[in-house]
Amino acid sequence: MAWIFLLLAGLFEIGWPFGLKMAQQSETRFSGIVVAVVFMTISGFLLWMAQKQIPIGTSYAIWTGIGAAGTFIVGVYFYGDAASIVRFLGVGLIIAGVVALKLAG
């Protein structure tokens, strides 16, 4: 169950940078901040739950890896962030590191 909590924590980790991006527009500033705080809270709680059984270094690395890769994908598809082979390769390396941590633990 701890690994499910960690996966969900990583997915919710994607939500708060999205909220902060929303908050940069004056018409969605308040709702963006609310989205960011809600996603931060849920993500943090789920990480806390996961760390009851998963070592802190492993859980934190996986949590941030999922968040970083997911936020990159959201940025490319929803905000037109730069997408090159090298950037996708970098995200692939992050994902490979997450998989390696899971397999090693």
What pLDDT, on a 0 to 100 scale, did the predictor assign at position 29?
97
Distance from C-alpha of 83 to C-alpha of 86, rounded to nearest angstrom = 8
Straight-line distance from the first to the last Cα atom of the chain, in angstroms, rounded to the nearest whole number:
15
Structure tokens at 13: 């980790």
Distance from C-alpha of 8 to C-alpha of 59, rounded to nearest angstrom = 12
Residues 17-68 pLDDT 10s: 999 999 999 999 999 999 999 999 999 999 999 999 999 988 998 999 999 9
Structure tokens at 62: 């996986």
Structure tokens at 66: 């999922």
